[in-house]
Chain A
Amino acid sequence: MEGLSRRGLGRAALAAAITVPAAARGQTAPSGPPIRIGYSMSLSGGLAGNGRPALLAHRIWAEDINSRGGLLGRPVELVHYDDQSTGAQVPGIYTKLLDVDKVDLVISGYATAIIAPAMPVVMQRQMAFVSLFGTGVNADFKYDRYFSINPAGSQVKETFAKGFFDIAMAMDPKPRSVAILNLDSDFHQRTAESARFLAGQHKLRVVYDRAYPPSTVDFTPIIRAVQASRPDIVYVGSYPPDSAGLLRAANELRVNFQMFGGPMIGPHITAQKLQLGPILNNLVVWDVYAPEPTLQFPGMQTLLERYQPLAARENADALGHYVPPLAYAQMQVLEQAVKRVGRIDQAALAVDMHGNSFDTVIGPLRFDAQGEWVEERNLYTQYQGVQGNGIEQFRKAGTQVILYPPRYKSGELRKPYTAGL
């Protein structure tokens, strides 16, 4: 556990005193007992690659708010435990946070597999709960104090793959067939279901529709079978390192599809961007953020500038384009609700979150009755003009252009996808 108020707070306060501008120094220093925010976070295990960047973003937020006078004039303390990427650890962690640590507020760790096990404990204690990257978690619980920081929205089947298919159907000539390939996991089953639904809506022939198990090592036979089914477009749902394996296999088999991609989680991670390099060219990928001029909101650039040196020191994702913006927004939602309510009152916080919109580094947000975003924001982006394996090109606009939704569009689709050949 790392409590900012114990060791870090002193350092943070000192750093703030040295670094914040004179105007900000005029803020009243936080005083009184800290507001403790508790959560589990995956700092080891398979989800740690995204859990650690999320924690860095939380720490940056905590430093920010403490340097601005704290929350309700009190310092903020983060109380978190490593869930080891194991859902079974999560109920115990939240029980301890609430019963022993007596935290004032709870948020979730990263991803559906960690959020869902926390729900029964959180619901029993009637805590307001802001989650991070959970897909459809509240569809079954229907908890009215749940709020999701995930752009997928509540109509996953109808909207998740909409961007991919809207882009595809705007091609000339229009595609007539689609291959659907997904990892056998909860998230990717949902996304593949959306692809099937939308393929039916667009009257596309599904020529390949298979899932692969998480233990897959060689993706060559899978891509070869997809190739043999001769689809016009290919929709893939995968996690790293599957994404790397699939794209490597696509390169080796010299694929040529009019459009290829989908929720391929992998190129979101900087190390994989650098490894794949030109293989990414013309790949259409679901994402949550891209450094394009159409998607710049107040605070985002500052966040990334503060995150990146910290990440370099702590061996976390170098660019931080994927999880950190949403993790920071998770805290901003909590902060704005507490400030508006003016006290720690779980019921009042939930009413506030349902009733108001939030200004965050990822743009304005509003929650629906299920706690999902009123306006889904599944971004479909395309890597273009990637040369070599340098990192600088991924910091710049134009390398990962936004194709969907139209309000954030920053480039035109390039086709076909040939895996860098």
Chain B
Amino acid sequence: MDPNLVLLLNGIVSGLLLGGLYAAAAVGLSISFGMLDIVNIAHPAFMVLSALLVALLWSTTGLDPLLLSLLLAPVFWLLGAGLYSVYHHFFERRGDEAIQGLAFFFGVMFIIEVGLVLTLGPEQHFADAAYAATTWRLGEIDLPLRMLVPAATAMAAIGILALFLRRSFTGRAIAAVAQDREALRLLAINPTHIKRLAFGISIAFAALAGGALAVVQPMDAWSGHIFIGRVFAIVIMGGLSSLGGCVVAALAFGVVENVTATFFGPSWSPAVAFGCLLVVLAFRPQGLFGRMA
């Protein structure tokens, strides 16, 4: 096969796998930012919190990092629900959620990071999955399980979430609260309760994303910083409140980054990826799959 074609195919495949990690990181934000209109800038910090807890638990139990993140998800759901209650009580209820709410989540992010340093230290932590050193080969295409398994797990979890949002009454209520919270009251549904539930789900997804991150790379308390810009860009590019759009945008982001890195050098990757975001927004301000208000 032509060497350039091999490079291109591998760039696309590795980009899709990277996109899977981005999707895992962005989908929780798609719920909080896209559906609930809560600018949770601390979302990547929750992901790192989970990743470091997974690393800690892995070092004592030896269990698979993704399984550990699944076990952590209910705890994170509770954490998210509790955090939303605080946010609602002090900001949203008073209509102060715009700037003060943003500052609140900034504060949460710093507290998480400093807390992690004080308890776990500033060192890098890691969790080695049993399959992390294995790479499948499909002809000239490499499929490292270090990237493939987290990506596949993320896609499965997102699929289940999509089914829940579409098929269940509570799921549809979450989708509805994004559009018209007052209409929800007419159905005798408490929108605050629904938002608490949904915000818990978004933080539970941060826990799952943390498991994926722990498999992919070592991390420290500040590893979330490199994801902040990307996850917000992905959610906006996909179209706020569109899970499908979020996944497509994440995969596109990964492919554009990796193909650019392969052929034009890694320095161009962020510029080209964020350039694509600008182009999308220029032609579709509502994002790829968003609806016009």
Judge if B40 is at the interface, Cβ distance under 8 Å: no
| Interface pair A315/B267, CB less than 8 Å apart | no
Question: Which residues of B are found within 8 Å of A316, using beta-carbon distances?
Answer: 121, 123
Among A48, A221, A252, the most chain B Cβ lie within 10 Å of the Cβ of A221
Question: Which residues of A are found within 8 Å of B226, using beta-carbon distances?
Answer: 214-215, 217
Complex Cα gap A389–B59 (Å): 13
Judge if B64 is at the interface, Cβ distance under 8 Å: no
Question: Which residues of B are found within 8 Å of A251, using beta-carbon distances?
Answer: 133
Complex Cα gap A394–B220 (Å): 22
Judge if A222 is at the interface, Cβ distance under 8 Å: yes
Judge if A363 is at the interface, Cβ distance under 8 Å: no
Q: How far is the CB of B49 from chain A (nearest CB, A)?
A: 16
| Interface pair A224/B7, CB less than 8 Å apart | yes
Question: Which residues of A are found within 8 Å of B85, using beta-carbon distances?
Answer: none
Question: Which residues of B are found within 8 Å of A228, using beta-carbon distances?
Answer: 3, 7
Complex Cα gap A206–B230 (Å): 33
Q: How far is the CB of B184 from chain A (nearest CB, A)?
A: 38
| Interface pair B258/A245, CB less than 8 Å apart | no
Stretch from B142-150, B239-247, B282-290 that touches the partner = B142-150
Q: Which of B7, B125, B144 contacts A271 (CB 8 A)?
A: B125
| Interface pair B267/A48, CB less than 8 Å apart | no
Among A212, A244, A252, the most chain B Cβ lie within 10 Å of the Cβ of A252
| Interface pair B120/A315, CB less than 8 Å apart | yes
Q: Mark A203-216, 1 if CB is under 8 A from B, else 0.
A: 00000001111111
| Interface pair A48/B117, CB less than 8 Å apart | yes
Judge if A296 is at the interface, Cβ distance under 8 Å: no
Question: Which residues of B are found within 8 Å of A240, using beta-carbon distances?
Answer: 124, 218
Q: How far is the CB of B199 from chain A (nearest CB, A)?
A: 26
Q: Which of B7, B220, B254 contacts A225 (CB 8 A)?
A: B7
Q: How far is the CB of A243 from chain B (nearest CB, A)?
A: 10
| Interface pair A225/B218, CB less than 8 Å apart | no
Judge if A3 is at the interface, Cβ distance under 8 Å: no
| Interface pair A271/B218, CB less than 8 Å apart | yes
Q: Mark A30-61, 1 if CB is under 8 A from B, else 0.
A: 00000000000001111011011000000000
Complex Cα gap A241–B126 (Å): 10
Which residues 221-258 in A have Cβ within 8 Å of B in the complex?
A: 221-222, 224-225, 228, 240-241, 244-245, 248, 251-254
Question: Which residues of A are found within 8 Å of B144, using beta-carbon distances?
Answer: 220, 252
Question: Which residues of A are found within 8 Å of B208, using beta-carbon distances?
Answer: none
Q: How far is the CB of B22 from chain A (nearest CB, A)?
A: 8
Chain B contact residue count (CB 8 A cutoff): 49
| Interface pair B267/A212, CB less than 8 Å apart | yes
| Residue of chain A at shortest CB distance from B135 | A252
**Knowing A225-B7, A228-B3, A275-B128 touch, does A217 contact B18 (C-beta < 8 A)?**
yes
Q: Which of A52, A213, A218 contacts B14 (CB 8 A)?
A: A218
Judge if A184 is at the interface, Cβ distance under 8 Å: yes
| Interface pair B124/A221, CB less than 8 Å apart | no
Question: Which residues of A are found within 8 Å of B21, using beta-carbon distances?
Answer: 217
Q: How far is the CB of B74 from chain A (nearest CB, A)?
A: 28
Question: Which residues of B are found within 8 Å of A222, using beta-carbon distances?
Answer: 261-262, 266
Complex Cα gap A271–B125 (Å): 7
| Interface pair A271/B266, CB less than 8 Å apart | no
Q: How far is the CB of A273 from chain B (nearest CB, A)?
A: 11
Q: How far is the CB of B103 from chain A (nearest CB, A)?
A: 19
Name 15 A/B residue pairs within 8 A (Cβ), A-sorted: A45-B222, A48-B117, A49-B124, A184-B267, A211-B266, A216-B266, A218-B14, A218-B261, A220-B10, A220-B147, A225-B262, A241-B217, A271-B218, A315-B120, A315-B123
Taking beta carbons and an 8 Å cutoff, which residues of B are in contact with A? 3, 7, 10-11, 14-15, 17-18, 21, 113-114, 117, 120-126, 128, 132-133, 135, 142, 144, 146-147, 216-220, 222-223, 226, 229-230, 254, 257-259, 261-263, 265-267, 269-270
20 additional A-B pairs beyond A212-B267, A214-B226, beta carbons within 8 Å, are A44-B122, A45-B222, A46-B220, A46-B222, A211-B267, A212-B266, A213-B270, A216-B266, A217-B226, A218-B17, A218-B18, A218-B147, A220-B10, A221-B262, A225-B7, A228-B7, A248-B146, A252-B146, A254-B135, A315-B120
